[in-house]
Structure 1
Amino acid sequence: MASDSFQGRKPFTEGEVRTIAYLQDQFKAAGLEPGNGNSYLQDVPMIDILSQPDPVMQVQSPKGTLQLKGFDEYVLSTPKTDPVISLDKVPVVFAGYGVVAPEYNWNDYAGLDVKGKIVMVLVNDPGFNNGDTTLFKGKTMTYYGRWTYKFEEAARQGARGCLVIHSTAAASYPFSVLQNGWNTSALRLDNKNESLLDAEGWITMDAAKKLLVAGGQDTSIIAKADIRGFKPAPLNATVSTHIRTKVTYNKSHNVIGKITGTKYPNEYILYTAHWDHLGIGKPDATGDSIYNGALDNASGTAGLLEFARAWKSLKTPPERTIVFLAVTGEEQGLLGSAYYAQHPVYPVATTVTVLNVDEVNNYGKTKDVMLIGNGQSDMDDILKEEAEKRGRYISYDASPEAGHYFRSDHFSFAKAGIPASGQGLGIDVIGKGKDYGRKMQEAFNAQHYHAPSDQYNASWDLSGAIDDLQLMFLIGKRLAYSHTWPGWKQGSEFKAERDKTAAERK
């Protein structure tokens, strides 16, 4: 799936056609039943929007006019389908983190009217930068810290646009990752009556400071946003630019197979992985423009196929139904999993759990297995118990500020109330130690994540991947031959949604 012939597996391209044909063939060969009636496919209606922003953004203020350079200092796109989005002298507001979080007694929009304006906000949470562990979850990102939330909240507040201020530490990836999306198409679900911004984008920290100073603010206001009681600051500045669009309405596809349970066929355990990647885009220094996505996430999809073969090899079929779901559009914002969660083939109420694979370990066996989203559900305890049976131990997210729990497909199911497992990659490499494992992960994120160089390499050591996949298989097996229902822990933001459907599981 990471070969050039699959063209980077972007939805709506020949790469998708080849990928879903391949997956259907593999599901059939493994002996899986069609997972959606008589079909292995679930249609996912999407809109492909090619945003073509102007090369500059004009900033006007009493201090004069300055130009910000597109690509170098900001990236911009639109989720709307208008032929042209015109931003003409639109006022700018610095709105701190752009967060409305009643449970944390925090509202960056309190008393602020941003209707028709551009809000500029910081990525991550208030607790990240100032080290105050009493703010939100300290350095552990909540959903309020994700850029997707920033755009959603800005739209709810009536803003025309939102610029997220980038920093590598707070975002957990360099600005170059965002530059890869400049002047390229992006997908969203074809949802009706959805509140959308005219413009969504990122701006470098240096450019944001230029904008603040032009608008009459001192750059120290950025640090003040970390302090409870921060007051947002309208800037005495406006911005002007245009975004032209080319729009395509189409359908992408989730691929679904199943093994029907013998005793509880209407109770479901889902194994998931996303099949998509970024397609063909900006060439790297070597001239390679195919974003093959070998680890992210051809490797996880390969794991999904191995799960299917392993389950079919068992002499005693599972008592609960096992569903194998390869989803589309993860790289565009968890779109395929979000669509499934909103339009489930199998009832959400009687879906036991979701076990998601997003990248596998390519650097050898580890003593540990990483738990992402610690403290959320009973799946944490099951993972710990099964890991210890195999002589392994649980480690915890080394970079909780990156918000990994909200960046992969299990999150779509968690929002729907399904206890979904966030299993990450260990770093305690047998015979090489934690520093080696940490360096391997850091090197991938810095050099290969969302880059054409994420390609299959025959020198990879996949023994650790096999261990991790076996563990995930055994967790599913433990639940497949039982009638127990893992739940959310007290205090989880997802518990209330699950509680609504408790009667349907009795």
Structure 2
Amino acid sequence: MKNTYYYPLLFLGAALLSACSRQEKPAKPITAEEIKSHIAVLANDSLLGRKPFTAGEPKTINYISQQFKKLGLEPGNNGSYFQEVPMVEITGSPVATMEISGGKSPIILNNLTDFVASTRQELDEVELKNSPLVFVGYGIIAPEYHHNDYAGLDVKGKTVIVLVNDPGFKGDTMTYYGRWTYKYDEAARQGAAGVIIVHQTKEASYPWSVVASSFPGAKLYLQQKDKHLGRCKVEGWITEDAAKKLFSSIGITDDLRALARKKDFKAIPLNLNASLTIHNKLKYSTSHNVIATLKGSTNPGEYIIYTAHWDHLGVGKPDAKGDSIYNGAVDNADGVAALISMAKAFSEAKEKPQRSIIFLAVTAEEQGLLGSEYYATHPIYPLNKTIADLNMDALGSYGETKDFAITGKGQNELDEYVTKYANAEGDIVVGDRNPIAGSYYRSDHFNFAKIGVPALDMNNGDNSLAHGEAWGKKQQEDYTAHHYHQASDNYSPEMDASGMAQVANLLFNVGYQLSNETTYPSWKDGSEFKAIREKSLGK
């Protein structure tokens, strides 16, 4: 552990009580009332659900930047509080059926019922025409695990079928290689014409209904010079039942997971061909990250970044109560509210942080972590001088807890900082609630991890301080089942933001300590990101 430095906003009396013999209580400058005041604005209907490219965007980003300006924070991007993020919106409409030919009789798969498909290629129409199907297991190349599903295989012009998740590199904990985004990326690197993931509910951590409802429609992507023509023509999913139908038609009835996990597994040509056409509508525009800086007092050339995504889903299908505005009060107005409150706490600290603190509200998280990806690939501040990223996403609205949950616990040394401050309050720290879901790879901190910056994402735990663990779990389950990505995720004056403040204060203390050190936290052995960081630091 690193040494503890002066904490701002502590009562003088507490500071005088045997400071050398026992640890002082962590600072708590952030209040629930302050966080709620910002949620009330950010989750108001007037912001139209904070979707990029809509009239809600300028209202949202102007509010955030105005709050930063009021606090006296410097514009974070060469005199501007905004970083432009050029994106393209692709609304893809697959034809009603995908035809699989080459067997005894054609197999017809129906859109939404059996498959979903889209494309990133910026063309009016893309087409797979008799593209040979190849089963490539999990579709993974992982040198550190001596695993290569593409070994000796040429898939140019072909469509690869891959399984969701990974073969168990870390037991039940999903690695980056298990994420569907990785599988699309790897298939493109291999030159495949199409990539189709077999959906399995347990391995994906959500049912087919989530795929069928969230995958279709307009998608945002970062603009690329090649107009994404280097990507696969088609990216999609099929149900497990549809996959079984394909495989059984050629005599393969084995469990696909068991088949793909064999040490001597080799890709299997299915001797079947896929045909599918997707019609596109294209729209080009620019969204914005919001960024502000508190310059460090003695070491301003090193940086701690706090992140939260400002966007949500906009206006959609009305719910049973007729509400069609998806305000995202928890996801993620509360994270941005905490970010603004964090900025206020740092700006009012009696002892200014020695390293610079960056406050970054990113766009288009709901569209695939695009705002944070753009910053990571177009950094304003040197990445090898960026100490850590501390991310806040969907903080719980069910009050204080006796525990904290670190997403991806065990990845890097930031865990120890969190544990230190949690333990000082008599709280404990736990890891992923559902490790098979790969949550570490599903929020904005991940784009910093990918480039080697130690990144932390954490949330409230289960064990409610007022009502116990069973009650706390029930609140989480209720939010996931009835409010997550629903129009009912609204602000209420009765909302309990004390747990949000609890997380924000903990992360404030972690960041404040990091800002006053000279050392860099590291990735732990076994992390996929350790080698990337060491290379960037010249180790």
| TM-score bucket (shorter structure) | over 0.9
Counterparts of 2:70 and 2:383, CA distance in 1? 28
Cα 1:282–1:216 change in 2 (3 A) is farther
SS in 2 for 1:306: helix
The equivalent of 2:217 in structure 1 is 184
- Which residues in structure 2 correspond to 1:384-463 (within 5 Å)? 384-463=419-498
Which of residues 326, 332, 335 in structure 1 aligns to 2:361?
A: 326
Contact 2:396 2:459 in 1 (8 A): no
Question: Is the counterpart of residue 117 in structure 1 residue 158 in structure 2?
Answer: yes
The equivalent of 1:468 in structure 2 is 503
Cα 1:236–1:222 change in 2 (3 A) is farther
What is the one-letter code of the residue matched to 1:347? P
Cα 1:180–1:281 change in 2 (3 A) is farther
Q: Deviations over 1:162-197 (max 9, x none)?
A: 111112221122323222335411111113356301
Counterparts of 2:525 and 2:189, CA distance in 1? 29
Which of residues 75, 79, 91 in structure 1 aligns to 2:132?
A: 91
- Which residues in structure 2 correspond to 1:273-422 (within 5 Å)? 273-422=308-457
Counterparts of 1:284 and 1:72, CA distance in 2? 22
Which of residues 172, 192, 206 in structure 2 aligns to 1:159?
A: 192
Contact 1:61 1:215 in 2 (8 A): no
Counterparts of 1:156 and 1:282, CA distance in 2? 37
The equivalent of 2:182 in structure 1 is 149
Shift of 1:384: 0.9
What is the one-letter code of the residue matched to 1:336? G
Unpaired segments of 5 or more residues in structure 1? 128-135
Q: Which has the larger radius of gyration?
A: 2
Q: Deviations over 1:92-135 (max 9, x none)?
A: 222211111121122222233322121121111112xxxxxxxx
Contact 1:36 1:256 in 2 (8 A): yes
The equivalent of 2:85 in structure 1 is 44
Higher mean C-alpha displacement, 2-11 vs 452-461: 452-461
Which of residues 126, 142, 148 in structure 2 aligns to 1:101?
A: 142
Which of residues 95, 111, 115 in structure 2 aligns to 1:74?
A: 115
Contact 2:313 2:326 in 1 (8 A): yes
Question: Is the counterpart of residue 202 in structure 1 residue 243 in structure 2?
Answer: no
What is the one-letter code of the residue matched to 1:79? R
Question: Is the counterpart of residue 234 in structure 1 residue 269 in structure 2?
Answer: yes
Shift of 1:372: 1.9
Q: Deviations over 1:406-454 (max 9, x none)?
A: 1111111112221111223311222433333233223322333223333
TM-score (normalizing by structure 2)? 0.87
Contact 2:73 2:294 in 1 (8 A): yes
Counterparts of 2:183 and 2:214, CA distance in 1? 18
Contact 1:263 1:320 in 2 (8 A): yes
The equivalent of 2:5 in structure 1 is none
Shift of 1:468: 1.0
Which of residues 164, 171, 190 in structure 2 aligns to 1:138?
A: 171
Shift of 1:62: 2.5
SS in 2 for 1:384: helix
Cα 1:74–1:489 change in 2 (3 A) is same
Which of residues 274, 277, 289 in structure 2 aligns to 1:254?
A: 289
Contact 2:409 2:430 in 1 (8 A): no
Cα 1:222–1:350 change in 2 (3 A) is closer
Count of residue pairs the alignment pairs up: 496
The equivalent of 1:133 in structure 2 is none
What is the one-letter code of the residue matched to 1:150? K
Cα 1:354–1:34 change in 2 (3 A) is same
Cα 1:363–1:297 change in 2 (3 A) is same
Counterparts of 2:369 and 2:403, CA distance in 1? 27
What is the one-letter code of the residue matched to 1:162? V
Higher mean C-alpha displacement, 286-295 vs 28-37: 286-295
Counterparts of 2:69 and 2:139, CA distance in 1? 47
What is the one-letter code of the residue matched to 2:505? Q
Which of residues 48, 51, 58 in structure 1 aligns to 2:99?
A: 58
Contact 2:334 2:500 in 1 (8 A): no
Unpaired segments of 5 or more residues in structure 2? 1-41
Cα 1:80–1:427 change in 2 (3 A) is same
The equivalent of 1:130 in structure 2 is none
Q: Deviations over 1:333-359 (max 9, x none)?
A: 211111111111111111111110011
What is the one-letter code of the residue matched to 1:169? K
Cα 1:284–1:215 change in 2 (3 A) is farther
The RMSD of aligned alpha carbons is: 2.0
